[in-house]
Amino acid sequence: MTKTVLALTIGFLAISFLRAQEMSSSPSPSTTPARSVRISFVPPPLEGKISLGIYDEWNKLVRVLHQEAEFDEFAIGADALSTKWDGKDDYDYELPAGKYSARGFLVAPMKIEQISQRNEVVFIDPAPPVRIKLIANPLENNERPTVDLVAGFDDDSAYIQTVDGLPLVTVTKISKNPALAVDLDLDQTKSPRILVRDADTVREFRITGLSKMMAFDCGKFELK
């Protein structure tokens, strides 16, 4: 009797071990399916680079999907460019399901020149947004739209961005500095300029051709 029980116990343990091996060798299914939204648009008839943002239903920018991108960074179809969004924000967090939209700008090359540099500590008083009248996009049958622009920066560059945070054109490279400050305003001739304070140095850049950009809209879509 003891031998029979022992044999059954050994057999049960062997079967359990084999099943455990099979389960561990098989990949477990993902509990979170991959999310992907295809976004297509017809680019405006203008040479330049594309900045494209994702906006929630309250019109808040939640993701900079493309920043100063070349055309070959998109999938090129017969009559449109397309890209994909993974449903995440700029901090790599999953966004809730709901209605979103995508829109952006095609920015033509412009002239950016440094016109002065002062080696002194200067307080840069933030100026109000600069309103620029853009070139009308003939594909959208609208009048020349306006856009409010401000200065922005990240770890590497100072740039001009929309007031809601979509970067459009890089002005200059910068170094990491807690005293860094940037500002976009109009000089005495009403020409756009950007001031960049990096430590105890202030550089002034003049931007010519800032209005040479077209806005485009990719429409609304549902994120599952």
The residue segments making up the domain with residue 104 are: 37-223
> Is the pTM higher than 0.95?
no
Residue 129 located in a structural domain:
yes
CATH of the domain at 50: 2.60.40.4070
> What's the total number of domains in the chain?
1
Please answer whether residues 214 and 134 qualify as being in contact, where contact means their C-beta atoms are separated by less than 8 angstroms: yes
Angular region, 92: left φ>0, alpha ψ -120 to 50, beta rest:
left
Task: With respect to residue 13, please indicate whether it lies within any of the assigned structural domains.
Answer: no
140 domain-assigned: yes
Per-residue pLDDT of 23-45, as tens digits, reads 334 444 434 567 899 999 999 99
Distance CA 147, CA 142 (A): 14
In a domain, 12, yes or no: no
**Sequence letter at residue 109:** P
Helix (H, G, I), strand (E, B) or coil at 23: helix
Q: Is residue 29 part of a domain?
A: no
pLDDT at 175: 80
- Residue 142: predicted pLDDT: 73
CA dihedral over 5, 9, 12, 14, signed as positive or negative? negative
**Structural tokens at position 113:** 């020149």
Residue 121, in any domain of the structure: yes
Mean pLDDT confidence for 16-22: 40
Question: What count of other Cβ atoms lies within 10 Å of the Cβ of residue 211?
Answer: 15
Residue 61 lies in a domain: yes
In the predicted model, what is the mean pLDDT of residues 60-73? 97
Predicted confidence at residue 33, as pLDDT, reads 63
Is residue 169 in some structural domain? yes
**Beta carbons within 8 Å of 68's beta carbon, 6+ residues apart:** 49, 50, 51, 107, 167, 168, 169, 170
Cα separation, 46 vs 49, in Å, equals: 9
